[in-house]
Structure 1
Amino acid sequence: MGTISEVVDSLENRISKLLHRHEKLKEANRDLEKQLELLKTQQDQSHGEIEELREKCKSLKLANSMLGSDQYKRDTKLKINALVREIDDCISQLSE
């Protein structure tokens, strides 16, 4: 009978250790989920900032092209030609 008691005690000890380990893993999982949410939020903010900076860069390039900088001469000419065509279309529509 002593051996059955030892086996039961051993099983209780192992179960206790497993339960303790399970609680630690659940706590670690909760921490990781919190960290994941934080990182997702930071990623969303970073994507927003990237889009804002891209728009600013696009605006600056357009402004430089409108000012006629050497780097954007071709773009400036194309933009002016597009505006002239648009104005011509408007004039032709008004005269009809």
Structure 2
Amino acid sequence: MYNLGIEMTEEDKKLLSTFEARLRHLMYLHDELKRENTEIKQLLEAKQEEVAKLRSDYNELEVVYANLKIAKTISLTSNEVKDTKQRLSKLVREVDKCIALLNE
């Protein structure tokens, strides 16, 4: 204990001891919260990386699905040729409309 020229009573000593104990406890809690915060930040970063990877995988799967749809449309049997021609005509008309809008 520090002696600053002031005589401390027993009650003062008890209060100071209690204060020191509480301060040490608060410092311990602070360190624990800092450690927990670091762990949570690391977990958040890992989850963000996982989400980014899943989004990338999803986008790749969308492209594959679109390609499969086109491949299925192209590889139809002779009975479905008429439907395929209609779909292709519709796609061509949509592209023509888009080109017309871009030319405006």
**Pair 26,83 (structure 1): closer, same or farther in 2 beyond 3 Å:** closer
For 1:28, give the aligned amino acid. E
The higher radius of gyration belongs to 2
- Root-mean-square deviation (CA), in Å? 2.5
**Is 1:62 paired with 2:70?**
yes
Task: Name the TM-score, length of structure 1 as normaliser.
Answer: 0.76
1:32 counterpart (40, 46, 51): 40
For 2:11, give the aligned amino acid. T
The percent identity for this pair of structures is: 24
SS of the aligned residue for 1:68 comes to coil
Equivalent in the alignment of 1:92 = none
Task: Name the TM-score, length of structure 2 as normaliser.
Answer: 0.70
Q: Map 1:16-95; keep pairs closer than 5 Å.
A: 16-68=24-76, 74=83, 76-81=84-89
Q: Which runs of 4+ in 1 moved over 2 A?
A: 76-85
Question: Structure 2 unaligned runs (5+)?
Answer: 1-8, 94-104
Give the number of aligned pairs: 84
Question: Structure 1 unaligned runs (5+)?
Answer: 86-96
The answer to which structure has the higher helix fraction is 1
Deviations 1:61-94 (A, max 9, x none): 01001112678x74x2234326877xxxxxxxxx
